[in-house]
Structure 1
Amino acid sequence: MKKIYISLFIILCITLLIIIYKVSQKIDEKNHLAVYDNINKVLNFHIHEEEKLALSIALSSSKNDAVKEALVNEDEDKAYAILQDSISYLTQFIESKNLYSQILTKDLFVLARSWDQLYSGMPLEYFREDLYEVITTYKPKVEIEVGRLLSIKATSPIIYEEDVLGMFEIVVLLDTIVEQLRRLNIELLPIMNTVYLDKAYLMELNEAVQKEYVLVNKNYNIKSLEILNKLSSNEFIELKNDNFLIKDGYYISSYPMKNSKNKELGKFVVMIGYADINELWNLQNSFIKNIIDMSSTKEDIYNYVKYKDKNLFMNIDKGYIANIKDLVDQNDLVEFEEVAFHKLSNLSKEELINFILQKPKLKNIRGDIK
C-alpha cells in the first residue's frame, strides 16, 4: 500500500512539473510576442519621425525662390551653393548627420546635390521611376525606396507658374535610425533583397546577409552581423516570415521593409540581448514620455498602455496632463486620474494657477504641418 502511495505521489509531482513547464512556456511565448509588438512600435515610431522631418524640409525648401531661380536658369553652381548652405545650417539644429539633399529637373536629371559637385546632369530615370508620381500628381511623397542606395526619400515638386519645374529631395540614410535604436539597447540591421542591386549599385560591396540580402547601413555591429549569418537555413526562413527566435543569448526578430506601394524591399532585423528583454518595458517607459505629448491621439495613448501591468502615466510630465486628459481611453481613465491627482496635489497655489492659465495656450499649438 505504501508503494502505491509513493507511486501516486511521484506521478502527481511529475504531472505538476509538466503543467508548470507548459504554463511557463505559454507565459514566455506571450511575453515574447509582446516584446515583438513593442519593438515594432518603437521601430515604426522612429521611421515615421524621420519621414516627417525629411518631408517638412523638402516641402519648405521647394518653396524657396532661390531654388526656383537656379532651376529656371539651370545654374548648377548656384544650386549646389544653396544645398551646401541649407544642409550646413540644418545639421546645426538636428541630430542626424546622415541627411542629404538634391535638386532634380522635371526630366529626372540631377541639377545639384549636397554631397558632391561631380554628378550634375546625371540621369536618374533608370534608378528612380518612382519620381514620375511626383511630377504627374503635383504632390510630395516620402517613403523608404531604392535608388543608388536604399534610404528614406522625401520629394516635393517645385512649382513654377502652375507647372512642375523640378523636385527638391531630402535623403536620410537608415544609419540614423540604427543610431537611435542603439541608445535603447536595440541593434537594428536593415537588409535589402539582392534583386535590387541592379539599381542600388552603390551597395554592391555592402556586407552580404545569408546570400539573399545585403546590409543597408555602414554603422553595423559586427557581432550582430555574425550571429545573423550563422543562422541555419531553417532558422533564417523562420525569421524571414516576420517572426522571432532566440539564438546565442539574443532575441532576434524581423519586420518587413516596404515602400509606399506595399512592395517589400527587404527586412528590418532587430537583435536584443536576451538578458535585456525584461528591461524593454522600462525602455518603453522612457520612450512613452516622448510619444505622449500634445500631438498624441487617443489611439496612440491606448496602444502604448493597454499591454502594461503598471501605471505608465506616472512617467508623464505634469505639463502634459491637461493636454491628454480628453484623449485617454475610458479603460485607462482611472489610472490617469490617479496620477493626475497625485501630481497636481503636490503643486503650490501659485504653480496651480500657472498650470491652469497655461492650459489653453498649450492646446492652441496643436495642428498639422501644412
Structure 2
Amino acid sequence: MNKTYKNFILLFIIVIITLLYFLNKYNNIIHQNQIDILVSNKVEIVQNELTNQKNQALSLAILFSKNQNIINNLEQNRAKELKDELLKLINNIKTYTNQNSIQVQIHTKDLKVFVRSWEDKDSGLNLESFRKGLVKVKETKEPYVSNELGKRFNIKAISPIFNNNDEYIGTIEVIMDYSDLKNRLKYLGIEIIPLLEKKYLDIAQSYKESLTLGDFVVIQQQYDKKLYDFLFTHKEYLSNEKFYYENKNRIITQIPLGNIDEQSVGVMVICFDKNEQNFNYLPKYEYLGEINIKSNLKNIEEKEKREIIIK
C-alpha cells in the first residue's frame, strides 16, 4: 500500500468522523429545541388552566354579589339565613359541575368577617391589616381575583356587594384551592405541587403543620406522593436557576405564584414525562343507546352494505 493511498484513507476517516461529530451536534441541538418547545407548551397549558380557574372564581363572585337573598341578608344582618343561602348555592354548583373546592366568605363594608361557608368561628374578625385584595376592592368598588395570601394561600375572587340603592354594603369572596386544577392537569399528563415559601407562615398559619420541601411548605392536602418524594431527594430542582431540569424521562419546571403586589410568595412545581405522546386532551364521547346493524348481502363479491340505526 503506497503512501498516497494511506493518506487518502486517513483523510477519508477524518472527514467521516468530522461529519458524524457535526451531525451528532446538530441532532442534539434539534432535540434540545424540541424539549424547549415542549416545556414552553406545558407551562402555557398550566398557566392557561390557572387563568381559567381564576376566571371561574371571579364569575361566581360577581354572580353571587347580585343574588338578592345574599344582598338582603347582609343588609339586614341575618347571618344564619345568609349562610343557608351560601350553602345552597355551593351545593348546586358541586352537584351540576366538576367544581368541588369552592368556599365563600362574606365581609361587612368595614372588612370584618360576617359569614363563612366552611366554619362559624372568626365572625367579626377584621381582615383589613393583611388582606390587601379586600382593601383594593373596597377602595375601587371593582371585582378582583388573584393568588392571595391570607391564613391560606389560594385563589381568591372578590366582588363588591351593593344594595338596591346602589350603596356599597360589603364584599363577597369565592375561594378555590388548587385541587380541581390538579385533577384537570393530571388528565393532561401533568403533575403539580403548589408550594408556599416558609417565611410567610406567620400570615398563612393554616400551614404551620404542613409538610416541608426545602424552603417551602406544601399547601395542598392531596398531592402526588411520588413527586413529593422525588423532589424531597432532589431539592436542587426547586431552584429557579434553570428554566427546567431533566431527570431521565422526567421534566421538572415551575411557575411563580404571586400575590396582589405581583411579588412571588410561592411556586407551582410542574412535572411531566418528556416522552409521553397521547391525546388525553381530546374529549371522550360515549353513546349509551342501542345500535342495530342490518346487512344486505346480494352475493359474495358485492361490497357489504351496513345501515346503522340509532334508536
Q: TM-score by structure 2 length?
A: 0.83
1:131 CA displacement: 0.7
Question: In the alignment, which residue of structure 2 is the partner of 1:224?
Answer: 227
Query: What's 1:204 paired with?
Result: 208
Residue matched to 2:292: none
Number of equivalences: 280
1:193 to 181, 185, 197: 197
Confirm or deny: 8 A CA contact 1:79 1:111 kept in the other structure. no
Aligned to 2:9: 6
Separation in 1 of the partners of 2:254 and 2:111?
Answer: 34
What residue identity is the alignment partner of 1:191? L
Report the equivalent of 1:102: 105
The alpha-carbon distance between structure 1 residues 65 and 129, as it changes in their structure 2 partners (threshold 3 A), is same
Q: How far is the alpha carbon of 1:145 from its aligned partner?
A: 0.9
What corresponds to 1:57 in structure 2?
Answer: 60
Q: Distance in 1 between matches of 2:238 and 2:131?
A: 31
Percent identity of paired positions between Structure 1 and Structure 2: 26
Match of 1:271 in 2: 271
Structure 1 or 2: more strand by fraction: 2
- Matched AA of 1:116: E
Residues 309-348 of structure 1 correspond to what in structure 2 (within 5 A)? none
* 1:158 alignment counterpart: 161
- How many angstroms does 1:169 deviate by? 0.8
The amino acid that maps onto 1:8 is L
Separation (CA, whole Å) in 1 of partners of 2:13 and 2:145:
64
- Please state if 1:25 is matched with 2:37: no
1:257 pairs with 2:261: no
Contact 1:127 1:148 in 2 (8 A): no
Aligned counterpart, 2:172: 168
Pairwise CA distance, 1:51: 1.4
- Alignment counterpart, residue 152 of structure 2, candidates 142, 145, 149: 149
Residue 260 (structure 1) shift: 4.6
2:96 counterpart SS class: coil
1:118 counterpart = 2:85: no
* Equivalent position to 1:90, from 88, 93, 103: 93
- The one-letter amino acid of 1:275's match is N
Question: Are residues 1:128 and 2:123 paired?
Answer: no
Shift in alpha-carbon separation, 1:260–1:129, aligned structure 2, 3 A: closer
Report deviation, 1:140.
0.6
Deviations 1:37-78 (A, max 9, x none): 211221122112211211111111111222122222222211
Distance change in 2, residues 1:42/1:87 (3 Å): same
Which has the larger share of helix?
1
Q: Which residue of 2 aligns with 1:44?
A: 47
Provide the residue aligned with 1:177 in structure 2.
181
User: Which of the numbers 4, 16, 24 marks the counterpart of 2:19?
Assistant: 16
Q: Which runs of 4+ in 1 moved over 3 A?
A: none
Which structure is higher in RCO with an 8 Å CA cutoff and minimum separation 6? 2
Question: Are residues 60 and 232 of structure 1, via their aligned partners in 2, closer, same or farther at CA, if it must alter by over 3 Å?
Answer: closer
The aligned amino acid for 1:80 is: K
CA contact (8 A) 1:150 1:200 kept: yes
Report the residue type matching 1:103 in the other structure.
I
Give the deviation of 1:248 after TM superposition.
4.2
Q: CA deviation at 1:232?
A: 5.3
1:246 is displaced (CA, Å) by: 0.5
- One-letter code aligned to 1:115: W
> Secondary structure, in 3 states, of the residue corresponding to 2:188?
coil
The gaps in structure 2 that reach 5 residues or longer are: 285-311
Q: Contact between 1:157 and 1:164, CA under 8 Å: does it hold in 2?
A: yes
Residues 241-260 of structure 1: per-residue CA shift (max 9 Å, x gap): 46111014311111222235
> Cα gap change, 1:263/1:232 in structure 2, threshold over 3 Å: closer, same or farther?
closer
Distance 1:25 1:216 in 2: 38
- What CA distance in whole angstroms lies between the structure 1 residues aligned with 2:235 and 2:57? 38
| Secondary structure at 2:49 match in 1 | helix
| Secondary structure of 1:91 counterpart | helix
TM-score normalized with structure 1 length? 0.71
Partners of 1:242 and 1:255 within 8 A in 2: no
Q: Does the CA contact (< 8 Å) of 1:242 and 1:256 recur in 2?
A: no
Larger radius of gyration: 2
Counterpart AA for 1:207: L
Amino acid of the structure 1 residue aligned with 2:266: G
Matches of 1:257 and 1:81, distance apart in 2: 33
**Alpha-carbon distance between aligned partners in 1 of 2:13 and 2:209, rounded to the nearest angstrom:** 62
Please list, as runs of the form range in 1=range in 2, the aligned pairs for 1:298-309 lying within 5 A after superposition. none
Do the aligned partners of 1:159 and 1:166 also contact (CA within 8 Å) in 2? Answer: yes
User: Partner of 1:354 in structure 2?
Assistant: none
Matched letter for residue 170 of structure 1: V
